[in-house]
Amino acid sequence: MTNPSSDHTVQPSRPFVPPPWETVGPRVRDVRVILTAPDGIRLVVVKVETDEPGLFGLGCATFTQRPLAVAAAVEHYLKPLLLGRSPHDIEDVWQAAYVSSYWRSGPVLNNALSGVDEALWDLKGKLAGMPVYQLLGGRCRVAAPLYVHASGRDAREVEEDARRYMEQGFRHVRCQVAVPGSSTYGVAGALDSEEPHPAHLRLRQEAWDPAAYVRIVPRLFEHLRSALGDEVELLHDIHERVAPPDAIRLAKALEPYRLFFLEDPFAPEENGWFPLLRQQAAVPIAMGELYSNPAEYVPLIKDRLIDFIRVHVSDIGGLTPARKLAAFCEFFGVRTAWHGPGDVSPVGHAANLHLDLACPNFGIQEAHLFGERTREVFPGCPEIRDGMLWANEVPGLGVELDEAAAARYPFPEHPLNGAWPPVRLADGTVQRP
> What is the structure's pLDDT at 200?
41
Cα diameter, the chain: 73
Structure confidence at residue 206 (pLDDT): 58
- State the angle between helix axes of 155-167 and 210-228 in degrees (0 to 180), rounded to the nearest 10: 50
Beta bridge partners of 113: none
> Quick check: 57 and 120 in contact, CB under 8 A?
yes
Q: Is 185 a catalytic residue?
A: yes
Classify 57 as helix, strand or coil.
strand
User: Which pLDDT value is given to residue 197?
Assistant: 40
369 CB-contact burial (10 Å; exposed 0-12 / middle 13-18 / buried 19+): exposed
Which of 133, 165, 185, 291 is catalytic? The answer is 185
How many Cα atoms occupy the beta-carbon half-sphere of 80 within 13 Å? 10
Active site residue 291: no
pLDDT at 417: 82
DSSP 252-269: HHHGGG--SEEE--S-GG
User: Across the 433 residues of the chain, what is the mean pLDDT of every consecutive 10-residue run?
Assistant: 49 67 87 97 98 97 96 98 95 96 94 98 98 97 98 97 97 96 76 38 63 96 98 96 96 98 96 97 96 93 98 97 98 98 97 98 97 97 97 97 98 87 85 81
Q: Which of 338, 345, 303, 342 is nearest to 321 (CA)?
A: 338
Q: Where are the alpha helices (DSSP H) in 264-345?
A: 274-280, 294-302, 319-330
Residues in the chain: 433
Whole-number Å distance between alpha carbons of 414 and 433: 18
Kindly report the number of other CB atoms within 10 A of residue 353's CB atom.
28
Q: What is the spatial distance between Cα 249 and Cα 295, in angstroms, rounded to a whole number?
A: 27
DSSP state of 362: B
What does DSSP assign to residue 2?
Answer: B
Q: How far apart are CA 304 and CA 278, in angstroms?
A: 9
**Region for 129 from its dihedrals, namely left if φ exceeds 0, alpha if ψ lies in -120 to 50, beta otherwise:** left
Report the alpha-carbon distance of residue 143 to residue 138 in Å, rounded: 12
Contact between residue 304 and residue 334 where contact means Cβ atoms under 8 Å apart: yes
Q: What is the pLDDT of residues 29-78, one digit of tens each?
A: 999 999 999 999 999 999 999 999 999 999 999 999 999 999 999 999 99
- Residue 183 is predicted with a pLDDT of 81
pLDDT tens readout for residues 216-239: 999 999 999 999 999 999 999 999
Q: Could you tell me the pTM of the whole model?
A: 0.91
Residue type, 415: P
Q: Residues near 53 by Cβ (< 8 Å), separated by ≥ 6?
A: none
CA distance 174 to 33: 33
Q: Residue 352: which of 384, 391, 387 has the closest Cα?
A: 391
Neighbours of 160 (CB within 10 A): 12
* 262 phi, psi to nearest 5 deg: -110, 125
Cβ(319)–Cβ(118) under 8 Å? yes
pLDDT score for 422? 84
Helix, strand, coil percent values for the chain (each to nearest 5): 40, 15, 45
pLDDT at 432: 82
Domains of the chain: 134-395 (3.20.20.120)
C-alpha distance across the termini of the chain, in Å: 47
- The answer to whether residues 341 and 9 touch, using CB atoms and an 8 Å cutoff, is no
Catalytic: which of 239, 339, 354, 368? 239
Percent of the chain with pLDDT over 90: 82
